[in-house]
Structure 1
Amino acid sequence: MSHTPLLKFWALLILSSALVFGLLLGTGCAAPAATEKPTIRLVEFDWTSQVFLTELLDQIISEQLGYPTERTRLSQPVTWAAMDNGDVDITPEIWFPGRQAEIQPFLDKGNIELAGEVFTGAGTGWVVPRYVVEGDPARGIEPMAPDLKTIVDLKNYWKLFENHEKPGLGEVVGGEIGWVDIDPFIILGYDLPLWYSHQSEAVMLARLIAADKKREPILMMIWWPHWIFSQVDLIKIEGVDPYHPELFDFDKEPYPVKSGFQVSKVYKVVRVGLKETAPDVYRLVHNMSVTEEEISELMLRVDVNKEAMPDVARDWIGKNQNRIDQWLGK
């Protein structure tokens, strides 16, 4: 009698048992599935520098750190409440002191925090084209106001900025009615022979660019960073006193105030809980910063050259990866 069929039976039985045991063992000892990364929720506002910085963060967080991201557009007051509730995580730009009063109660609660300045040197003030002060030999322009350094020096040069609208006064080209303007207070405070005009930002910039092309003098209020500094070479006129925000009451008609122009600090804001749930993102936000000159140039590419913002951000990342690696702590 042959034993071959019996041997085959036992061999198959042993093999099957081993496979079943192996599967059971493998199931019991399998490593747990990797924890999914949380979605990082970014908030954008409605001006170019802030939206660009949001785009920059979005690309780095999603493509280099591997987190899913969501973006939403909210007003600033709504953002602080939403972040306090844990509904959003990051926004890269808030201006102090302008927005400090509305965010401070949420900072005091401790669920959100300022994550350092995103760029330095922000502010508002008066500017003239550089050729007004220094001339431009290459363009055949002689200096028109060689000793113009501070706002009080405008007492000697106001006639350069006089026009037919208000003879006997130099014009400060200003922004739209409704903006919070300290300029009329300062004009009265230093008894400057100037008047402050109102027009849209588009008209302001068009007038400045036209004056530059015609090599004419112009005195204008502007804030920075702004792309116009990348298109027209401008000099900031200095104040003679520090900025004193407590001296201004915008509910009243302008009255004399001796103060410098507003100096701003621009911060990133982050939800504190991100430090536990996404520590690498938290570190990135705290380390991220750009220069005033960089953001002005990037705004020029988007607002004037009409380049697509995602493309501009990706190009900047490609040229600054070493710096981004430092932000990421690599």
Structure 2
Amino acid sequence: MIRRNKLVSIMSASVLGILLIFASSACSEEESKGPVILIEQDWNGNTVTTALAKLILEEEMGYTVETKFAPADSAQMFEGLASGEMHWVCCNWPSFSAALLEEYADTGKVTRQGPVGIKGTSHMYVPRYVIEGDSERGIDAMAPDLKSYADLNKYKDLFATADTRPKGRFLDFTPGWDYRNEERLEALGVDFEVVFTGSEAASFAELDAAHKRGEPIILVVWTPHWAPVKYDLVAIDLPAHSDCYPVTEKFDCGYAVDDVKKLTWPGLKEDMPKAYEFLENFQITNDQQTSMVITKTDESKTDAEAARLWKDANEHIWKTWIP
């Protein structure tokens, strides 16, 4: 009888142990509901797209979500993903971070999660009235023969300012975005000085002011972006992108066409598998991202407000992302 009681006690202890293991596992699963740490960068397309992912993770999947800032395609961003300080970025442009992708993604320190659905590139733009004029606004054509980079030197005085003359003035965002326009213009033989505004907002504030006054301006803009449509910009022809930077240290060509990618912290898949699967399924097109950015900029909405309006109108799309 004593032995039987001992056996029962042993069996009871074993069952209790198993139950505690299951309970512990359940607690672990509960704890894995966050925080998911999403990366915000210094451009509107990223911030509205990140806001959309955040809304769905929080409201539809019950995750706690935080955002942390890292400059676009920077060493800080890659180090944050490798260390687990940051978990996911929606929009990596491979042509702007080839060396960092080799260092972090090719070695497994950061996980490539696949395309986000955006095809991105950049162009040198001028407002249409610079080339064609605008009779309704009383603006005469200023550079009627301007079609390609080879025509720019003919009009360099038109685009010059007191600070750049005798060179023309070419507007760029920030050196940290690695457009390498100084090298590109020099390699193409274009006698213009690159002037950095410091941010997306500053560049488009200057474009807006020039457009209202009907003044000449030339600048780089990436697509997808709202500005070429809003300001009726015309792209200047450049040589096709081939074997130039970043593949080689040659810059005599146009901008790369990027299949924009998602990147993650390697531990996310194990720690929060459902969140990982949702982010892996997350897809957005050029037009969808642009529509959210236009809502933000034209209607003075926050990123979260613009993302919510899109979410409310497109349940049939985002529901397919949730595992």
Asked if TM exceeds 0.5, the reply is yes
Q: Determine which of 196, 220, 238 is the counterpart of 2:194.
A: 196
Tell me if the contact between 2:188 and 2:253 (Cα under 8 Å) persists in the aligned partners: no
What does 1:169-318 correspond to in 2, within 5 Å? 169-175=167-173, 180=178, 182-201=180-199, 203-229=202-228, 231-242=230-241, 244-246=244-246, 257-271=251-265, 274-275=268-269, 280-302=274-296, 305-318=299-312
Aligned to 1:69: 64
Tell me if the contact between 1:227 and 1:298 (Cα under 8 Å) persists in the aligned partners: no
- What secondary structure sits across from 1:115 in the alignment? strand
Aligned to 1:127: 125
Q: Which amino acid in 1 is paired with 2:281?
A: N
Aligned to 1:101: 99
Tell me if the contact between 1:111 and 1:273 (Cα under 8 Å) persists in the aligned partners: no
C-alpha distance 79-146 of structure 1, shift in aligned 2 (>3 A): closer
Q: Which amino acid in 2 is paired with 1:309?
A: D
Larger radius of gyration: 1
Tell me if the contact between 2:58 and 2:65 (Cα under 8 Å) persists in the aligned partners: no
Q: Which amino acid in 1 is paired with 2:322?
A: L
The CA distance in 1 between the partners of 2:239 and 2:316, in whole Å, is 41
Q: Which amino acid in 2 is paired with 1:245?
A: Y
Coordinate RMSD, CA, aligned: 3.7
The CA distance in 1 between the partners of 2:80 and 2:172, in whole Å, is 35
Q: Deviations over 1:35-81 (max 9, x none)?
A: 445224122234233332222112112222x2322314154645545
The CA distance in 2 between the partners of 1:56 and 1:198, in whole Å, is 30
The CA distance in 1 between the partners of 2:69 and 2:205, in whole Å, is 30
Percent identity, please: 25
> TM-score when scaled to structure 1?
0.71
Q: Deviations over 1:246-272 (max 9, x none)?
A: 4876xxxxxx94222354443111345
> TM-score when scaled to structure 2?
0.72
Please state how far the C-alpha of 1:245 moved relative to its aligned partner. Answer: 1.0
Please state how far the C-alpha of 1:289 moved relative to its aligned partner. Answer: 2.6
Q: Deviations over 1:83-125 (max 9, x none)?
A: 4466654322223232343344443444642222325332343
What does 1:11-160 correspond to in 2, within 5 Å? 35=26, 36-37=29-30, 38-40=32-34, 41-47=36-42, 48-64=44-60, 66-73=61-68, 75=70, 77=75, 80-81=78-79, 83-84=81-82, 89-110=87-108, 112-141=110-139, 143-160=141-158
Q: Which amino acid in 2 is paired with 1:128?
A: V
The CA distance in 2 between the partners of 1:174 and 1:87, in whole Å, is 31
Please state how far the C-alpha of 1:230 moved relative to its aligned partner. Answer: 5.2
Tell me if the contact between 2:37 and 2:67 (Cα under 8 Å) persists in the aligned partners: yes
C-alpha distance 218-107 of structure 1, shift in aligned 2 (>3 A): closer
Please state how far the C-alpha of 1:129 moved relative to its aligned partner. Answer: 0.9
Q: Which amino acid in 2 is paired with 1:43?
A: L
Aligned to 2:9: none
C-alpha distance 63-140 of structure 1, shift in aligned 2 (>3 A): same
Number of residues of Structure 1 aligned to a counterpart in Structure 2? 294
- What secondary structure sits across from 2:96 in the alignment? coil
